[in-house]
């Protein structure tokens, strides 16, 4: 089945470059030149969104914030607004990746294909099988990709990247995982001092809260990375 990218970009030249690049991988494209047309195109159920932040009728970060209230479609921010603070804010709001303009189109294609693969795995639940992982007072259902507390019917949204990282931690509790390893989990090139992994981990910490003894589930290991410090029980 062919996959579709929604390119939210007001510059015609950039739209053409992006669509030509994605077409080499057999990815179809939809186009939106502003926020209003993005909402209309969402009705076509794109598999990934490539989002510019500088749109004529809306701020891209606010669009992303609103989008995450109703959809978990993967989002790559592609913008000239590339300072570290904006990158961190974008990831915290819910972007899965962030590439500055101009960037290498081969890298953008690789990041896009990586997100599409992870999204497809999520929908088919083939990467982990149908399991329920219990830790603390949480349950992660790997088939539905839902995180919920024991005794609660409400699911907590993780997003594609959050789910992938939590799955990596739950696969190897009490085992140190380097930032380089976690970058590979997200199919990202490892770049020293890139804080995107740290931001994703901080989001997981906020979602999970603290254990009964007051400690975090994910502990920082200086110069090493992170370690998940709670027992994990898997059931079918």
What pLDDT does 141 receive?
A: 87
Break the chain into its structural domains and give their ranges.
Answer: 3-124, 132-235
**Alpha carbon 198 to chain centroid distance?**
13
Is residue 71 left, alpha or beta, with left meaning phi > 0 and alpha meaning psi from -120 to 50?
beta
pLDDT 10s digits, 135-156:
999 999 887 778 999 878 788 8
DSSP single-letter state for residue 3 = E
Q: Of 118, 187, 192, which Cα lies nearest the Cα of 158?
A: 118
Dihedral of CA atoms 44, 47, 50, 55 in degrees, nearest 10, equals: 30
The span from the CA of 64 to the CA of 73, in Å, is 11
- Tell me, which fold does domain 132-235 have in CATH? Arc Repressor Mutant, subunit A (1.10.10)
Confidence of residue 1 (pLDDT cuts 50, 70, 90): low
For 3-124, give the CATH class. alpha beta
| Residue that is written with structure tokens 């953008």 in the block | 108
> How far apart, in whole angstroms, are the C-alpha atoms of residue 52 and residue 231?
41
Instruction: Give the C-alpha separation, 112 to 94, whole Å.
Output: 16
Task: Record the tokens describing residue 230, joined without a space.
Answer: 């709670």
pLDDT tens for each residue of 71-104? 888 899 998 887 778 888 888 888 888 888 888 8
Q: Do domains 3-124 and 132-235 have the same CATH topology?
A: no
**Phi and psi (nearest 5°) for 125?**
55, 35
pLDDT given at position 101: 85
């Amino acid at each position: 089945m062919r996959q579709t990218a929604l390119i939210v970009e007001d510059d015609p030249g950039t739209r053409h470059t992006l669509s030509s690049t994605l077409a080499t991988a057999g990815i179809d494209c939809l186009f939106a030149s502003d926020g209003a047309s993005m909402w209309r195109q969402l009705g076509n159920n794109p598999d990934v969104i490539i989002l510019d932040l500088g749109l004529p009728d809306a701020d891209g970060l606010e669009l992303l914030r609103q989008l995450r209230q109703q959809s978990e479609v993967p989002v790559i921010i592609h913008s000239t607004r590339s300072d570290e603070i904006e990158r961190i804010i974008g990831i915290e709001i819910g972007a899965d990746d962030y590439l500055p303009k101009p960037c290498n189109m081969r890298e953008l294609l690789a990041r896009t294909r990586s997100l599409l693969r992870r999204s497809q795995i999520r929908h088919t639940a083939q990467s982990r099988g149908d399991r329920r992982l219990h830790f603390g007072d949480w349950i992660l259902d790997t088939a539905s990709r839902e995180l919920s507390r024991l005794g609660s019917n409400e699911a907590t949204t993780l997003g594609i990247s959050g789910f992938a990282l939590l799955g990596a931690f739950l696969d190897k509790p009490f085992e140190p995982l380097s930032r380089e390893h976690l970058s590979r989990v997200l199919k990202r090139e490892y770049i020293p001092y890139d804080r995107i992994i740290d931001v994703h981990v901080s989001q997981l910490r906020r979602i999970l809260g603290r254990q009964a003894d007051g400690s975090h589930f994910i502990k920082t290991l200086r110069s090493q990375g992170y370690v998940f410090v709670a027992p994990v029980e898997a059931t079918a």
